[in-house]
Each structure stands twice: as structure tokens, then as C-alpha cells.
Amino acid sequence: MIRRLHLSDWRAIAHYLGMLVLTTGIAMLVPFAAGLVLGEYKAAVDFLFAIGICACAGGLLILCRVERGSLDWCQSLVVTGLVWIVISAVGAVPLFLSGCYQGYLDAFFDAVSSVTTTGLTTCADVDHMAGCMVLWRSMMSLMGCVGVIVIALALGIFGTSAAAATLYKAEGRSGQVMPEIKQTSRFILALTGVVVGVGTVACIVPMLMSGMDVPSAIVNAFIVTSSSFSTGGMANHSLGIMYYHSWPLEVMSLVVAAFGCINFVLFGDLWKGKRESFFKDIEIHTIAIWGIALAALMGFALAGNQYFGDTLAALRRCLYVVVSGMFNMGFSTMYAGQALYALGSGALFVVVLSMVICGSSSSASGGIKALRVGLIARSVAQTIREALAPAKACPRTFYYHHGRHLLGSQTVSSAMVIVVLYLCTYALGAIAGVVGGYDAIPAIFESVSAASNTGLSMGIVGAGMPQGLEVVYIFEMWVGRLEFIAFFAMIVEFFAFLVPRKRTRIRRRR
């Protein structure tokens, strides 16, 4: 039975959304200040205008309900579903005003791509974008990576009420490092700060060695590190990581991206000294096996490839692309259209496969997630064991994920449902690409990249792409990040609210 949301429920949802819009406005103060420091006054004025919009819209939404109250599960799902779009809508305002985009839809696409940590861009000329705008895109990626709601929880915006716990779970986070949600959120925020900080310092060295001046090295190192950890892949150069021509930087970006696609709770286990918990986890096992399988496949697929000339160069570039896809990062060591004729269909298929699954649950990465694939693989093993076991025997399969658990049919079926929904979304985007007039291989590649929030591109996404296809990719990035449940819950609740309730007639007996 569906619980219908009443007007009072929507007012509560609007209240919480308003608080998140206000938080976004406060976050815009950072690029605004950066604009003033860098002397980019026009861009700073754009941010000031966007902050004003956030203040007005957020204030009005908050006034929908004066008392904060607590959220139930349905309301939390709707807040989680809407927050990504609402924040992207206000986050796109300074991008649109910058004049780097052909229209608001293009700016909105980039904002959704940043917030969902995808990394696809419709900006025609990233190289000449204002520094504070580039910083804002990186900040949106970091906000999306940590989770907008997790940031709000860490800052204490939602307090420590029951609403905090329901919002945390509704955002797809599972497991806690600390007993309280607020403490766990602060741990995730601190972890992000430490990894990005240490990564930035480490990345400065190869940049200085390549002849970059100190301020530029710091800014570039921060953008590369934050884009790698958030698995967003939003760069400040149109060439992305290729701009730097530095293999140490490529290695560092992969290491930082690997940190981004590991479950945040597993870092908590390491922090507590529980190493065995980290190495026994089903997600770590699945990522390791999947990575080795992909590397082996790519090695076979590249046999006979003459494009790169040097074998070592071919292996370096192709390994980077596969691992970038697997870690959901989106940086590439090939030009957008180059992969189509340089790799060949076999290697391209391996890259598409690498983007399908991606990293862990409760991490920065998107895609089907290693946990679900691991559970399904275990259920296959369970089925084989049941078939081979004697009639009276009842074999049981366990898996390790934040403790040892018995594999149940309910767990496997829910994992299967999400996998099927992801595959349908990949297919939907590919069909839309083909209808838009593109070849099947680039259409499939781009669709998987958008829905898995990876960001590798074969050149379909860009300035001047068909607007219908742009909307389809926005939808894919959104539902891919939400992992479907919050999206479907929101749609059902919305239509249940619109459809008038049937009146039941009570006949009185005379």
C-alpha cells in the first residue's frame, strides 16, 4: 500500500530542500571569494547573483513550514530524489551567466554532470573559463561525492533527529563508522579533506617538475586531486589529464580515484585497526577480480594493434583508460574521438565493460556497484551447491560486508532488480543516441558512461549536441546516481498526490 503524501508532507519536503539550497548558496561564497582574489570580477558578480537567487529561493522554501519537525521514510526519499536536481538547477546559474555555455540547458547539464560526479561536459572552451568557475565545478563534484545530505548532516543542519537517520539511509548510504549519523558524516567529510589535501600536496611535485609556477601548480593539483577523488573527472583543461604529459601524475590520479571508489565505512574499519574487515569484504574481492579480468581482456584485445606503435605506450594509455572507467573517474589518456579508431571494437568493448560496474556502495563512484555483482555471483555459487548437495542437505552461503551475513533470497533479488534497471537505462540511452543519428558503438559508450556516472566520452557529448539527447543523458546521470529507488519513490508519490482519492460510500442501515 502506498502512503499518500499530503500537502503538509510536501511543505516539510520543501522546508528541507530550502535548507539545502541555502547551504549551496553559502558554498558559492568560496568561488565568489576566489573570483575577487583572482581579479575575475565579472565571474564574482555572477556568483553574487546566484547567491541572491539561492537566498531568495531557499528562504521561500523554508517558509513553507516554520517548524522543522522530523521526516519519515517517504518524505526522505523524495527529498533525496529532488535535491540533486534542485542543487544542479541553482548551481547552473553562475555557469550560465559566465557565457561559456550556449544556453541554460547546457549549463544545467554540466551542473548535473558535476553534482552526480559524472564529468561529461558541454562547455565549448574550458581552457578559457574563469578560474573561480572551474573551482565551482570541482566543488560541486566534491559535494556530490561526499553526498549533499551527508554534508548537511555533518554541518548539523538537520540536527540529530530521526530525520537525520532517514535522510542518511535514503541517500543510499549503508553502515556507520560511528554510533551517530552526525559523527559518521563528519568522518566522511574529514576523510575527504585528508585525501584531497594529501593528494594535492603529492600532485604539486610533478607539476613543479614540469615547469609550472607555484600558484598554478597548487590550483591544478587541487583540481586534479578533487576531480579524481570525487571520480568526477571535471578538469580545467579541455585535454584533461593529457594536458600535463606526466605519468607520475597519471598514477597519482588513479590512486586517488581508487580511494574515492572504496566504501567510506571500510576506511572506518581501517581507521579502527580492523584490517581483516577491509580485506575480507565482498566488495574489495569483487573489484580485485573484476579489475584483473578487465586487464587480461584488454591485453588480449590489444594484440595486433598497430596504432600506438610502441607497445609500452599502448599498454600505458589503455590501462589508464580501463582503470579510469573501472574507478568511475572519467579522465582519459585519449582524445574523445581517438578511442573509436585507435582501439578497435574489442578494446572498446572492454572499456564499456569497465564502466558498467564501477566501485563500492557508499562511495563516490556510480554504476551497478561491486557489492551487487558480488552478491549475484555468490547466489550463482549457492545455486550450484544446492544442485550438487544431497537431498536432505541445506547448504548455506555467507558473505562478508560490515560483518558476516547469510546470503538470503531477498538480498539477491533486490540486487538483481537494481542491476536490471541499470541495464535498461544503459539500453535506453543507447537507443536515444541511435535515434539521434549516431553510430551504435559511440551511442552505447556514451549512454553507459552517463548512466554509470563515469564521464568517458567518444565525442557525442559536447557543445551543440541535440537537446533531446542532452535531456536523456541528464535523466541517466540523475537516476544512475540515485540508484533508482529514490527516483521511483518520488515519481509514485508525486502521481499518488495528484490522483484524487476515491471516496468510499458508507451505507447506513436503517
Partner 1 sequence: MKIVDKAKREVRHPVAGLLTALVAVVCFLVVLAAVMALTHFIAS
Contact set with partner 1 (CB under 8 A)? 194-195, 198, 251, 254-255, 258-259, 262, 267, 270-273, 275, 278-279, 288, 291-292, 295-300, 302-304, 311, 315, 318-319, 322-323
Q: Which cell is 420 given?
A: 536490471
Residue whose CB is less far from partner 1, 153 or 302: 302
Give me the least distance between CB of 199 and partner 1, in Å please.
11
Residue whose CB is less far from partner 1, 201 or 435: 201
Give me the least distance between CB of 294 and partner 1, in Å please.
8
Q: Give 420-471 as a 3 state SS string.
A: HHHHHHHHHHHHHHHHCCCCHHHHHHHHHHHHCCCCCCCCCCCCCCCHHHHH
Give me the least distance between CB of 482 and partner 1, in Å please.
27
Residue whose CB is less far from partner 1, 275 or 396: 275
- E strand or H helix at 398: strand 398-400
Give me the least distance between CB of 278 and partner 1, in Å please.
7
Give me the least distance between CB of 323 and partner 1, in Å please.
7
Q: Give 406-428 as a 3 state SS string.
A: ECCHHHHHHHHHHHHHHHHHHHH
Cα distances from 247 to residues 1, 213, 224, in angstroms, run 56, 19, 13
Contacts of residues 94-97 at CB distance under 8 Å and 24 or more positions apart, as own/partner, are: 94/28, 94/31, 94/43, 94/46, 94/47, 94/49, 94/50, 94/133, 94/136, 95/133, 95/136, 95/137, 97/46, 97/49, 97/50
Residue whose CB is less far from partner 1, 260 or 480: 260
Residue 151 · residue 23 · CB < 8 Å: yes
Residue whose CB is less far from partner 1, 276 or 439: 276
Residue whose CB is less far from partner 1, 214 or 270: 270
Give me the least distance between CB of 160 and partner 1, in Å please.
18
Compute φ and ψ for 405, nearest 5 degrees.
-130, 150
Residue whose CB is less far from partner 1, 295 or 428: 295
Query: In degrees, to the nearest 5, what angle opens at C-alpha 67 toward C-alphas 63 and 68?
Result: 95
Dist. CA 318–CA 340, nearest whole Å? 13
Give me the least distance between CB of 470 and partner 1, in Å please.
34
